[in-house]
């Protein structure tokens, strides 16, 4: 059962509509579906919301640290609520998938994603779930940092939003821990 869903992104208006904020955008869509309000929680260095999915209450967290320090916020809330890594779902942008692709996995490395790298360091574990939202790769010669910190084209936005909608539609099964069903649905 998932008790905490973390969306990765960067705080600030200049980053709101960037590829790197796919995790924040997912949580905003989820909070909208459940009519949840966000509250700034300084003790967790993040924006927190609680949503009542059919499988039970789930906390939503948007770290207010920058991406490469996401683990500070995640570590604090995990220790406070005594959560196990397998009760955590981290939603993030994924360069290895084209825009519009969304996939679920458990464990693994960080693949160069600084937000995941910091979370792994603060949790001392890689065994949390990840919901990866494809944003595609930059064209040859364009720096990855510049690419993820810019807004996608209108067509890419539509694909990314479609992927987010697909993930949100699976939220009750995700919270319930029915990961095989979610993987079958998202990966087909």
Q: Which two tokens stand for residue 133?
A: 């939202």
First CA to last CA distance, the chain: 23
Active-site choice (20, 92, 113, 122): 20
Catalytic residue flag (residue 20): yes
Maximum CA extent, the chain: 46
State which H helix or E strand residue 6 sits in.
strand 4-7
**Which residues, listed in sequence order, are joined to residue 57 by a DSSP beta bridge?**
52
DSSP SS3 for 46 = strand
Q: How many C-beta neighbours within 10 Å does residue 134 have?
A: 22
The DSSP code for 94 is: E
State which H helix or E strand residue 53 sits in.
strand 46-53
- Label residues 1-34 b or e (16+ Cβ within 10 Å = b): ebbbbbbbbbbeeebeebbbbbbbbbbbbbbeee
CA–CA separation, 91 vs 29, rounded Å? 12
Active site positions, annotated = 20
């Amino acid at each position: 059962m998932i008790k905490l869903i973390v969306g990765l992104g960067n705080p600030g208006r200049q980053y709101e509509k960037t590829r790197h904020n796919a995790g924040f955008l997912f949580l905003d869509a989820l909070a909208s579906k459940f009519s949840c309000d966000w509250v700034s929680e300084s003790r967790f260095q993040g924006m927190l919301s609680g949503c009542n999915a059919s499988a039970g209450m789930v906390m939503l967290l948007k770290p207010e640290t920058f991406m490469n320090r996401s683990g500070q916020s995640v570590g604090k809330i995990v220790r406070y609520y005594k959560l196990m890594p397998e009760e955590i779902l981290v939603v993030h942008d994924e360069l290895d998938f084209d825009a519009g692709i969304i996939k679920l996995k458990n464990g693994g490395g960080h693949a160069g994603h600084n937000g995941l790298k910091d979370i792994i360091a603060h949790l001392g574990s890689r065994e949390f779930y990840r919901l990866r939202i494809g944003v595609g790769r930059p064209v040859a010669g364009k720096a990855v940092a510049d690419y993820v910190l810019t807004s996608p084209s209108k067509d890419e936005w539509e694909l990314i939003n479609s992927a987010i909608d697909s993930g949100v539609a699976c939220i009750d099964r995700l919270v319930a821990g029915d990961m095989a069903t979610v993987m079958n649905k998202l990966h087909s």
